[in-house]
Amino acid sequence: MKKDKVNYNASSIFDIDINFFVSLKIKAVICDLDNTLDRFDVLRPNSRVIELKDSLEKNGIELMIVSNNHGPRVKSYSMVLGVKYLANARKPFTKRFKKFLTDQKLSIDDVVFVGDQLLTDAKLARKCNVKFILTEPVYKKEQWTTYFNRLIDRPLRKMYRKQNRLGHRCPLNTK
């Protein structure tokens, strides 16, 4: 983890100015689901998530979901939202993510990945050489499997912050 560095950071994906994504000239925002986009225990997107997807689409950017969560939960959420998805992604392993990008006809320059964990999301992005935005968890409550990652993630974030390895702060949404 010594060489790792995050490209960008934000308190939440909802706080990022849509024009920032446009300025990166990307075609898709690939987002982790649990505690980045929404709570881990909901099956339907809330109005804030739907508004984000619509804002991205108005600017020619597609929202996609890549999650380590099980298929039925990710599928039902993504279907209601109307976005492409990859469930059981096995982050930080790269094979399924790279295949997903290929299947969607996207290159690493076409996407930015947004996630709330250094051990899974940031590591996957670094291994795939994809631009990455680290966010804070949207909700305090964690799925039991994520709880253990957070025990490592919290002190690691603190160290990254001290060493100025959290990247540039994303421009804030002014709405």
pLDDT in tens, 65-103: 999 998 999 999 999 999 999 999 999 999 999 999 999
Eight-class DSSP state of 15 = G
Say if CB 31 and CB 115 are below 8 A apart.
Answer: yes
Pairing between strand 84-86 and 111-115?
Answer: unpaired
Query: Hey, is 82 helix, strand or coil?
Result: coil
Locate 164 and state its tokens: 């100025």
The predicted structure's pLDDT at residue 171: 85
Those residues whose C-beta lies under 8 Å from the C-beta of residue 30, and which sit 6 or more positions away, are 64, 65, 66, 111, 112, 113, 114, 130
Say if CB 91 and CB 123 are below 8 A apart.
Answer: yes
The predicted structure's pLDDT at residue 42: 87
The predicted structure's pLDDT at residue 40: 84
The predicted structure's pLDDT at residue 1: 47
Locate 131 and state its tokens: 């631009």
Per-residue pLDDT tens listing for the chain (175 residues) = 445 678 999 999 999 999 999 999 999 999 999 999 998 888 899 999 999 999 999 999 999 999 999 899 999 999 999 999 999 999 999 999 999 999 999 999 999 999 999 889 999 999 999 999 999 988 776 665 666 776 778 878 888 888 888 888 888 876 6
- Nearest CA-CA partner of 173 in 36, 9, 14: 14
